[in-house]
Chain A
């Protein structure tokens, strides 16, 4: 008798907890909505962005967001690339397999991908790579840049990893690309510090005439830095994808 009665108070207790949580979230929502609707509706009057926009045409890049990401706030981009590197290293450590022993990629009873999918992905792969490279290289002329293009390139590689059983990323090449582009980024920054025309870290020391606005070769050092960032992001995100795909389910290693 008691086992039949005891689920009922449990369910009633959980309903009260859900109701209390809903009340808490609702009250916080009304509080924040009151604050924002009273003070935040008129928009900012004068921001840092206005001052940056006036100086951005002098930097030579047609995309103001790229100028802010690479040139005005380039140190934040360096920190972001560092965080990505740490995350990729962490994922690689968590999914490490013993050296010399590459595990089989599929669980024994998964069916291999059909012929159509494999052929389709093989046809799509160079197009996706080309699109990713285009987005990276044109970061200073149109929406795009290193982060977007790098993730597109990594997505192209993960499509091939998903459908082909024997495709693996060459770990040594990925690590080499990653370290070279990371050190290249810091090297550009140090060069900006050393060269006397701009005495700042990540200063724009290559010529960036305003007349060349909109051309592919413009904005000085900004597209070069963004290409390095794109290579690094693509290599790291590809390494994250491959490490997460390689592990087998249900085994305690």
Chain B
């Protein structure tokens, strides 16, 4: 059983199913909860699921990290650096957007006192 779980197809399958499960838990939280902070937390969970899916499907087990250490001199049998670089960028941008979003939520709460997204109707056309 343990050897079956280490084949590339099984590892990719585990990552695909696990990331999708995490993504849809986040989606359920986004659709069903009406508190502002829970919306942000659900979005953060969905983003983490996408990062895991991205790197998980591009890396086969048996490759090492793309860093030359301990006397190696060529990049042979190393995992793909492009998804890792893109995920790095995405994590930082996700944090920046989260900070700005939470700041907006804090100012809105000071202005009106509500935290329910269903009652934010100021911009709705009559």
Contact = CB atoms under 8 A, between A and B. Distances in A.
A adjacent to B, CB under 8 Å: yes
Interface string A237-253: 00010011001001111
B81 A64 contact: yes
A53 B100 contact: no
SS class of chain B's interface: helix, strand, loop or mixed? helix
B73 to A, nearest CB: 7
Nearest to A70: B85
A91 B84 contact: no
A80 B89 contact: yes
B73 A63 contact: no
A42 B12 CA distance: 8
A67 B28 contact: no
SS class of chain A's interface: helix, strand, loop or mixed? helix
Contact of A87 (B69, B73, B96): B96
A244 B20 contact: no
A56 interface: yes
B60 A43 contact: yes
Contacts of B99: 87, 91, 240, 244
A235 B31 CA distance: 36
Interface residues of B, number: 48
B32 A18 contact: yes
Contacts of A21: 28, 31-32
B10 to A, nearest CB: 9
A83 interface: yes
B27 A25 contact: yes
Contacts of A28: 24, 27
Top-8 shortest CB links A-B: A49-B80, A87-B96, A64-B66, A53-B75, A68-B85, A62-B68, A64-B81, A36-B16
Interface of B: 8-9, 12-13, 16-17, 20-21, 24-25, 27-28, 31-32, 57-58, 60, 65-69, 73-75, 78, 80-86, 88-89, 92-93, 96-97, 99-100, 102-104, 106-107, 110-111
8 contacts: A29-B21, A44-B58, A49-B58, A49-B82, A52-B81, A53-B80, A57-B73, A65-B85
